[in-house]
C-alpha cells in the first residue's frame, strides 16, 4: 500500500497521535488509475473513418497552368489519406484542367472542347465499362477559394457561368452531381459540405490564395485584416469542432518565399550568366526580386543578345516585400490563436516553405529548393509540384503520428519525385552569357564587381 499524507491532517501541537489516524490511505491500484488517466488525457484519439480537406489551390493540387487529375491524386491530402488507409473521393478534373492560375491572363469560361470531353473524370471500378461519379467528395479544396468563400460561396445554377470562372469551378467541384438533381437537393458551401459529411478528421488549409494573389497584384491591402480573417477562420474551426471532429489547421506559407520571386544569385544559376549582369544591367540589389514574368523577359533578352529596359513590374524592390511578410505573419498568429482556443492541432506549413527557401531539402541525391525550377514548386512558381506535396504529406503524417500516438508510414518522396517534371529539370550546360555579349561594357562590368 502507498500512502499520501496532507499537512492539514497532522495532529495539532499538544495532541497525541494514535497510530496514524490523520493519514489518507489511497490504494496503489487507484493511484495507478489516476496517473494513467492523466497520461491518456494527453494522447488524443484519432478516428480516420471520414477525412475531409478544406482548402484552396495548394490543397487542391493546383500546379503549372491548372488543376487536373494527375496532380490532384498526388496532392498532400490524397497522400495522407492513402497512408492512413481511408477513402478520399476527389472531384477529379480532366486535363488540361481548370482553374485560373494566379497572375496569368484570365481565360473565358467555355464548354468542354477538345482535348476535354467531360471535364470531370470518374474513376472506374473493376468490371465497369465506364466510371460513375461518387455521390459525395471528401476533397473539398477549390483553387481560388478564400476563407470567406469557404463559409458562404455555394454552387448555383447553371452549371457553367460564362461571366464567373470561380463560380464555375465551385459548381464543378462541390456542386456535381447535385446540380443535375431536382431543385430540392441541398447545395453546400465548403464548410457546409464538410459539416454534412460529419468528418472524424478535418484538415483546413486556407489563406494562401489571398496572400499569393496580393503579391502578384502588388497590393498588400488585398490580404485580409487580421480581425476579419480571425472571425471567418474561427467560425470554420468552431463549426467543425462542433461535429466532434479532430481539426488540423495549416499556417499560411509566405508567398515571398515562393519561386514566383527570384533573387539575382539564383537567376544567375538558372540562366547561366554572372550575377553582376543583374546588378549592373538591370540595376538590382541583393534584396530585390525578379518576378516570374521578369525571368521570362530576361531570358528572351539574353537570347537576343541585348539587355533592354524591362516592363513595369518585372522586378520587386526589397522595400516592397516587407508588408506582405508582416501581413501573412499576422494571419498566422490568428490561426495559432484560434487553434489553441478551440482545441485544434496546428501544422506549420509556413515553416516548411521557409526551410525550403533558406536551406533546401535533400531528396534522392539532390537538394530541392525554392528557386524557379528548383524542384519544390511547379511551373507557376507559387504552388508545389508532386515532390513538394510528398514533403508536405510526410510532415503531416509525422504530426499525426506524434499527436495521436499512431504509426502511419511516410510517403516515398523519391517515388513522387520520379514523376515530377520540375524535379527532373537540370540547368543547361555549356558557355555562360558574358556581360559583353549582353551589351555591358567592360567599364560597367568592372564597377559592378
**Could you tell me the CATH number of the domain that includes residue 206?**
3.40.50.1110
385 contacts 424 by C-beta, under 8 angstroms:
no
Overall number of domains in the chain: 2
Q: What is the mean pLDDT of residues 183-210?
A: 95
> Is 275 part of any domain?
yes
Q: Is 149 helix (H, G, I), strand (E, B) or coil?
A: helix
Joined together, the cell numbers standing for residue 22 give: 490523520
Q: Nearest to residue 299, comparing CAs of 289, 290, 288, 286?
A: 290
Helix (H) or strand (E) holding 52, with range, is strand 51-55
Question: 228 and 348: one domain?
Answer: yes
Question: 312 and 324: one domain?
Answer: no
Question: 265 and 408: one domain?
Answer: no
Distance (Å, rounded) from C-alpha 256 to C-alpha 353?
Answer: 10
Residue 333 has pLDDT above 50, yes or no: yes
For residue 87, give every residue at least 6 positions away whose Cβ sits within 8 Å of its Cβ, in sequence order, or none.
81, 138
Distance (Å, rounded) from C-alpha 318 to C-alpha 285?
Answer: 8
Question: 294 and 397: one domain?
Answer: no
Question: 299 and 348: one domain?
Answer: no
> Is 405 part of any domain?
yes
> Is 267 part of any domain?
yes
> Is 6 part of any domain?
no
Question: 400 and 434: one domain?
Answer: no
Is 350 or 425 the better-scoring residue by pLDDT? 350
> Is 63 part of any domain?
yes
Question: 311 and 326: one domain?
Answer: no
Question: 273 and 379: one domain?
Answer: no
Q: What angle do CA 269, 274, 278 make, to 5 degrees?
A: 95
Strand partners, 203: 53, 248
Q: How confident is the model at residue 161 (pLDDT cuts 50, 70, 90)?
A: confident
Helix (H) or strand (E) holding 239, with range, is helix 226-241
Q: How much is the pTM?
A: 0.87
Question: 85 and 196: one domain?
Answer: yes
* Max CA distance (Å), the chain: 104
Q: Nearest to residue 334, comparing CAs of 204, 232, 192, 191?
A: 232
Question: 330 and 275: one domain?
Answer: no
Question: 274 and 222: one domain?
Answer: no
Q: Which of 11-15, 58-62, 434-438 has the lowest mean pLDDT?
A: 11-15
* pLDDT at residue 244, as a whole number: 95
Question: 246 and 130: one domain?
Answer: yes
Is 329 or 276 the better-scoring residue by pLDDT? 329
Q: What is the separation, in whole angstroms, between the first and last Cα of the chain?
A: 81
Residue 343 has pLDDT above 70, yes or no: yes
Distance (Å, rounded) from C-alpha 400 to C-alpha 85?
Answer: 14
Residue 8 has pLDDT above 50, yes or no: no
Question: What range does the domain containing 276 cover?
Answer: 261-316+430-448
> Is 3 part of any domain?
no
Q: How confident is the model at residue 433 (pLDDT cuts 50, 70, 90)?
A: confident
> Is 423 part of any domain?
no
Residue 111 has pLDDT above 80, yes or no: no
Distance (Å, rounded) from C-alpha 354 to C-alpha 376?
Answer: 12
> Is 123 part of any domain?
yes
Q: Above pLDDT 90, what percent of the chain? A: 65
Amino acid at each position: 500500500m502507498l500512502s499520501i499524507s496532507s499537512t492539514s491532517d497532522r495532529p495539532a501541537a499538544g495532541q497525541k497521535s494514535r497510530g496514524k489516524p490523520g493519514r489518507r490511505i489511497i490504494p496503489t491500484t487507484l493511484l495507478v488509475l489516476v496517473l494513467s488517466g492523466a497520461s491518456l488525457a494527453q494522447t488524443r484519439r484519432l478516428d480516420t473513418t471520414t477525412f475531409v480537406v478544406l482548402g484552396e489551390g495548394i490543397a487542391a493540387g493546383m500546379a503549372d497552368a491548372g488543376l487536373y487529375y494527375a496532380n490532384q491524386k498526388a496532392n498532400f491530402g490524397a497522400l495522407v489519406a492513402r497512408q492512413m488507409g481511408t477513402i478520399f473521393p476527389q472531384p477529379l478534373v480532366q486535363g488540361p484542367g481548370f482553374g485560373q492560375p494566379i497572375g496569368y491572363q484570365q481565360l473565358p469560361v467555355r464548354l468542354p472542347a477538345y482535348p476535354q470531353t467531360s471535364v470531370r473524370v470518374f474513376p472506374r471500378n473493376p468490371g465497369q465499362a465506364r466510371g460513375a461519379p461518387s455521390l459525395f467528395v471528401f476533397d473539398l479544396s477549390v483553387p481560388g477559394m478564400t476563407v470567406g468563400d469557404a463559409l458562404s460561396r455555394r454552387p448555383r445554377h447553371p452549371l457553367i457561368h460564362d461571366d464567373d470562372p470561380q463560380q464555375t469551378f465551385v459548381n464543378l467541384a462541390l456542386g456535381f452531381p447535385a446540380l443535375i438533381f431536382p431543385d430540392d437537393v441541398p447545395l453546400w458551401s465548403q464548410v457546409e459540405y464538410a459539416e454534412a459529411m460529419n468528418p472524424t478528421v478535418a484538415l483546413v488549409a486556407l489563406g494562401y490564395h489571398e496572400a499569393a494573389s496580393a503579391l502578384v497584384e502588388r497590393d498588400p491591402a488585398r490580404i485580409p485584416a487580421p480581425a476579419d480573417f480571425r472571425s471567418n477562420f474561427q467560425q470554420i474551426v468552431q463549426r467543425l469542432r462542433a461535429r466532434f471532429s479532430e481539426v488540423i489547421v495549416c499556417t499560411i506559407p509566405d508567398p515571398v518565399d515562393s519561386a514566383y520571386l527570384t533573387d539575382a544569385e539564383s537567376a544567375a544559376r538558372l540562366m547561366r550568366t554572372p550575377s553582376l549582369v543583374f546588378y549592373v544591367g538591370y540595376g538590382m540589389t541583393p534584396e530585390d526580386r525578379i518576378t516570374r514574368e521578369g525571368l521570362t523577359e530576361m531570358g528572351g533578352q539574353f537570347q537576343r543578345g541585348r539587355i533592354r529596359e524591362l516592363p513595369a513590374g518585372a522586378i520587386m524592390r526589397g522595400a516592397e516585400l516587407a508588408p506582405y511578410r508582416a501581413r501573412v505573419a499576422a494571419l498566422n498568429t490568428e490561426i495559432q490563436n484560434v487553434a489553441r482556443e478551440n482545441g485544434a492541432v496546428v501544422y506549420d506549413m509556413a515553416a516548411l516553405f521557409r526551410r525550403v527557401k533558406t536551406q533546401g531539402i535533400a531528396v534522392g541525391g539532390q537538394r530541392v529548393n525554392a528557386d524557379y525550377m528548383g524542384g519544390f514548386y511547379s511551373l507557376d512558381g507559387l504552388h508545389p509540384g508532386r515532390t513538394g506535396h510528398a514533403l508536405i504529406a510526410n510532415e503531416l503524417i509525422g504530426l499525426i503520428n506524434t499527436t495521436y500516438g499512431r504509426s502511419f508510414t511516410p510517403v516515398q518522396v523519391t517515388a513522387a519525385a520520379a514523376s515530377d517534371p520540375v524535379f527532373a529539370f537540370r540547368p543547361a550546360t555549356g558557355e555562360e552569357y558574358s556581360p559583353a555579349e549582353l551589351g555591358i561594357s567592360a567599364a560597367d562590368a568592372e564597377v559592378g564587381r
